[in-house]
Amino acid sequence: MQLYNNLSAKERAALIEEAGQERLTISFYKYAQIGNPELFRNHLFINWNELDVLGRIYVAHEGINAQLSIPAENFELFKAHLDSITFLENVRLNVAIEQDNLSFLKLKVKVRNKIVADGLVDETFDVTNKGIHVGAEKFNELIDDPDTILVDMRNHYESEIGHFKNAITPDVDTFRDSLDIIEKDLADHKEDKKLVMYCTGGIRCEKASAYYKHKGFKQVYQLEGGIIDYTRQVENKKLENKFLGKNFVFDHRRSERITDDVIANCHQCGNPCDNHVNCANEACHLLFIQCEDCAKKMHDCCSDSCKEVHELPYEEQKKLRKGKGASNKIFKKGRSEVLKFKN
């Protein structure tokens, strides 16, 4: 019984390109009580591996958080399998705005303590007492209301390339960092303002809305389905799109363009740019924004020192990395002293 990947990402990419089949990139989440996450994880891997599902799925006692891709021809079989699981029947599926057959190259189903690292102690508040879910039309009405405070629940490198007009965009590295900062900054408005939140697909707002209600905010709202579903709704209903720029995504695409607005800058030269890349030096791998001109000049690296390492023979690069832990820059996305034009 296979419960792990037996192909490398490179081998999988070659097979996908050879097959020439259209794949769909999909995400979904569901909070539910799962008694045996390990058993559930194995059940998902066995069934989804048969359907050629690839992606990153987190399972915990509190539910499931999934980002994945699947051959379009297998979608109905995949949906049928989801519907066969009681708590996933008719779960909302967020289909990516921009598709890429290589968005995921391995099937990873992992058991975690939580499906989102929020740093919260769930036993201290009612996680089911969530905010009011609103669709795109109501969301637009709310954010036009002068009594509304709109908050982006994502990280700095996500909101840097795209966000809603007039949104508060916390300068944080992780979701858990934002929760207390937002509460402190908005402490004077718990009674008189509407707190409206959004994130990529909705999952971060699920727990955050309950947390802020517990902290005394009286009027709490969250965007149903996040930026992904909002984009589809405004297009289908011909509504005004109040989002600017790109939506950051956690797969090989890195982002999907929502509007033509470019609201970010190259971190190396300062010119308008919203393309995230990873430093080509494998010992660094820093996520940052780089324009095409700087990519050519810097050989896809974030600094001259990384460029020098990257130009060495590969075996020599491996020797330099031997015995060293992963660079902290990997985890401090878009934050480094070498980036002159990082806001």
Cα separation, 184 vs 314, in Å, equals 48
**DSSP state at residue 168:** B
Set 199, 284, 291, 294: catalytic member: 199
Nearest to 148 by CA among 135, 158, 159, 138: 138
Question: Does residue 199 carry a catalytic annotation?
Answer: yes
Question: In sequence order, what E strands does 186-314 have?
Answer: 194-198, 219-223, 243-248, 255-257, 276-278, 287-289
Half-sphere exposure of 162 (CA within 13 A, CB side): 26
Q: Which amino acid is at 272?
A: P
User: Are 153 and 204 within 8 A, CB to CB?
Assistant: yes
φ, ψ at 107 (rounded to 5°):
-100, 115
Residues with a catalytic annotation lie at 199
